[in-house]
Chain A
Amino acid sequence: MKNTAFLNRSELIAVAILAVLILVVLPMSLDGFRLNLVGKYLTYAFVALGLVMCWGFGGILSLGQGIFFGLGGYCMAMFLKLEASSVENTKIQSTPGIPDFMDWNQITSLPWFWEPFKSLPATMLLVVGVPVLLAFILGFAMFTRRVGGTYFAIITQAIAAILTILIIGQQGYTGGINGITDLRTLNGWDIRTDDAKFILYFVSAGLLFACILIAYFVKHSKLGRILVAMRDKEDRVRFSGYNVSNFKIFVFCLAAAFAGIGGAMFTLQVGFMSPSFVGIVPSIEMVIYAAVGGRLSILGAIYGTLLVNWAKTAFSESFPELWLLGLGGLFIAVVLAFPNGLAGIYTSYAEPFIRKLMNKKPDILPGGNIPQGSPAE
């Protein structure tokens, strides 16, 4: 089988179970509205997946993944907004043909950096390209200077704050705090209908599985093993002759690319983009998804994202005034009791039980000497 190159048997089964859940069970059991919500959650799962790669495997904690999610989302939103701002749609404006918020801010012609977003292929390229470019610049500037750990986390947080302030401050060019709203069609295809949402759900899910396979491929390659080695003993890897910073830059860019794709899919499904996804709070929330799911587990991150968001929606619908406390309690409980998240629960309790049932001796998983209860970096 071709897949065996980068998936072992138990992983193949686990991916298949998730695929059945996301592609068959959920679409068949949920109505359009709930399915659209799950579609939205899946877009966050891209970010959580990226965090597993760079935090769980690479040991680089980024508290600014919202930056890349937001950039990907904004790239897509700019394309959709230009399409929605055709001259016929905007003839009441003083300058027809430009987005409405520009008109409110006395801007009379389209700024240069909006020009590429007139074309869909260019947009699709930029959705991945812009986040990766920024991640490369940040990674290059910091990892080659051996900035890491907490310092890196703080810098990513500062960048997230800067980007939010920039977007809000330049409202004539970015839509300000309102964001880019009222998006309608993608190349003439109305994205607001229920059918479109249904299709977009499967597109998101498909892209997510593609990213999951990439993640497994990286994990099982030599590269993945170097990442884990680097996380556990960076100096030893460096003394062995590896250029550590290049590997870090790579995995950080990979996480940014995943986040950018997630952001673009988010914009398509939700119908707008705003700076509230770029800042510090959403970035930390995204780290929580990965932490709850288990930062060392690729699939754990997906389950973690779905669970946390489902809990968020369910709590807030049932207890509109108290739900934040309930959610906070859940996080604290998970992190205190299960430092490796849902995946940790599975590997320490469920898996030995299953193995006992199947009468098998536990073997050592490749690259998976999971340090139980190791402190979050």
Chain B
Amino acid sequence: MSDDIERGLESSLRRKLLMGMAAIPAVALMPKFALGAGPATSEVNTTGLAVTDTEVTVGILHSVTGTMAISETGSVQAEKLAIEQINAAGGVLGRKIKYIQEDGASDWPTFAEKAKKLLVQDKVAAIMGCWTSASRKAVLPVIEQYNGMLYYPTFYEGLEQSKNVIYTGQEATQQILAGLDWVAKEKAGKSFYLIGSDYIWPRTSMKIARKHIEAHLGGSVSGEEYFPLGHTQFNSVINKIKLRKPDVIYCAVVGGSNVAFYKQLKAAGIDLSKQTLLTISVTEDEIDGIGGENITGAYACMKYFQSLENDNNKEFVAEFKKMWGEKTVIGDVTQAAYLGPWLWKMTVEKAGSFDVDKIAVASTDIEFTKAPEGYVKIHENHHLWSKARVGQVQPDGQFKVVFETADLIEPNPFPEGYQ
């Protein structure tokens, strides 16, 4: 870890030097800074953010109470870990990161209120936060109005792009298309049964999935059903599945409903080692609640699994467990949340400024080679280039990675032909 950080520091120093050479007149005006100290605050903060000579303040805004707390806690932990690591490596432009944490309380208006508080009162330089689409939609107008910077970690439905948001999770096409291609090829999937929770993300995802299945895979959709959030009675849909015998159950049921769904599926005698089930909504976090034995054999399409075999990830998992305990599990979104503070740090250093307008521009092409999921890069549209992977659930609740796309997939939040 330590020598990676040194490498990171070196490269950022090199970048600073290069930038400095490119702007010699500017450097001449800047007060000289001692080794370890950053450039003058007046230079790097022209819009009155909470930046001092030694500190910069960011906000963490997730639900730590309410129904979403179980999902969002991992993101909070990952963000705190990243901030601690960045501070241990010397901070951002020579300033330590201080965070102010607020609770969105699983309540969308509270998210908006707290986002406004962080921006208006605390003048945070960036916010790491939000989880559900609804909370993001509530916060977005606030962030845009007060010109803040949000790092949003969750895989989501796309159809959105903002100067003030960096989406570190996958948009819908990045998560869906590769997984469907894989299941059609490897599992000879021709008929699909689509099941989701009833809100914007599953609906948009299923819309894209249906178009892809019908237009590109030559398959058919034998059923499509949605259930309210928190729904726990899946017997009728399970009976329909038994009747229609689809090749693939394609699933986007979220949150607590998952527990009931998979237990009832198992109780109904559907053996997931024989019946192919591909989900886009179950990560290690959810399996913790479902119980590995109830969902063994199911496939999930994500960009990250805790079991990924690469050096970055091994270090990340070790550090995460050291900080938060051996028993914690790390899901896809947790990893994406971990990227937020790092991407922000690198962008600030590239821009040489904390100013949001400069960061919004400088974000394009920021690369993070130490990401646990492997190399990632920020696209011009503020989403990440990333791979898609398919993992199979093991009885211990971990995934065995069975497929990974060869290349990074370009993010395309407004996919034509899938609308």
Convert B201-236 into 0s and 1s, putting 1 for each residue whose CB lies closer than 8 angstroms to a CB of A: 001100100000000000000000000110000000
Report which of B114, B134, B198 forms a contact with A169, defined as CB distance below 8 A: B198
A271 part of interface (Cβ distance < 8 Å): yes
What interface size band does chain A fall in?
35 or more
Is A277 in contact with B109, judged by CB distance below 8 angstroms?
yes
Partner-contacting stretch, out of B138-146, B261-269, B303-311, B396-404:
B138-146
Is B103 in contact with A316, judged by CB distance below 8 angstroms?
yes
What A residues does B228 contact at CB under 8 A? Answer: 165, 168-169
Report which of A179, A270, A276, A277 forms a contact with B137, defined as CB distance below 8 A: A179
What interface size band does chain B fall in?
35 or more
Instruction: Say yes or no: A320-B203 contact (C-beta < 8 A), given A178-B134, A274-B138.
Output: no
Knowing that A165-B228, A274-B108 are A-B contacts, what are 18 other residue pairs whose CB atoms are under 8 Å apart, sorted by A's residue number? A33-B117, A37-B113, A105-B203, A168-B199, A176-B200, A177-B200, A178-B134, A179-B137, A179-B138, A181-B137, A183-B141, A270-B112, A270-B113, A272-B112, A276-B108, A276-B109, A316-B105, A320-B101
Convert A41-63 into 0s and 1s, putting 1 for each residue whose CB lies closer than 8 angstroms to a CB of B: 00000000000000000000000
B102 part of interface (Cβ distance < 8 Å): yes
Of chain A, the residue at the smallest CB distance from B204 is A104
Main secondary structure of the interface of B (DSSP, over half): helix
Is B107 in contact with A276, judged by CB distance below 8 angstroms?
yes
Convert A166-181 into 0s and 1s, putting 1 for each residue whose CB lies closer than 8 angstroms to a CB of B: 0011010000111101
B419 part of interface (Cβ distance < 8 Å): yes
A368 part of interface (Cβ distance < 8 Å): no
29 CB < 8 A contacts A-B = A31-B121, A32-B120, A33-B120, A40-B113, A101-B200, A106-B207, A165-B228, A169-B198, A169-B228, A177-B229, A178-B108, A178-B200, A179-B108, A181-B141, A182-B137, A182-B140, A182-B141, A183-B141, A271-B141, A271-B142, A272-B112, A272-B137, A272-B138, A274-B108, A274-B109, A274-B138, A276-B108, A316-B102, A321-B65
Main secondary structure of the interface of A (DSSP, over half): helix
Is A179 in contact with B134, judged by CB distance below 8 angstroms?
yes
A220 part of interface (Cβ distance < 8 Å): no
Convert A89-124 into 0s and 1s, putting 1 for each residue whose CB lies closer than 8 angstroms to a CB of B: 000101000000100111000000000000000000
Is B120 in contact with A171, judged by CB distance below 8 angstroms?
no
A323 part of interface (Cβ distance < 8 Å): yes
A332 part of interface (Cβ distance < 8 Å): no
A324 part of interface (Cβ distance < 8 Å): yes
Of residues 142 through 179 on chain A, the ones whose CB sits less than 8 Å from some CB of chain B are 165, 168-169, 171, 176-179
- CB-CB nearest 9 A-B residue pairs: A320-B103, A33-B120, A177-B199, A178-B134, A178-B137, A181-B137, A324-B65, A321-B64, A182-B141
Of residues 96 through 133 on chain B, the ones whose CB sits less than 8 Å from some CB of chain A are 101-103, 105, 107-110, 112-114, 116-117, 120-121, 133
A225 part of interface (Cβ distance < 8 Å): no
A317 part of interface (Cβ distance < 8 Å): yes
Is B102 in contact with A320, judged by CB distance below 8 angstroms?
yes
Q: How far is the CB of A373 from chain B (nearest CB, A)?
A: 32
Q: How far is the CB of B232 from chain A (nearest CB, A)?
A: 14
Q: How far is the CB of B221 from chain A (nearest CB, A)?
A: 16
What B residues does A271 contact at CB under 8 A? Answer: 112, 141-142
What A residues does B159 contact at CB under 8 A? Answer: 104
Is B229 in contact with A274, judged by CB distance below 8 angstroms?
no
What A residues does B207 contact at CB under 8 A? Answer: 106
Convert B165-201 into 0s and 1s, putting 1 for each residue whose CB lies closer than 8 angstroms to a CB of A: 0000000000000000000000000000000001110
Is B65 in contact with A181, judged by CB distance below 8 angstroms?
no
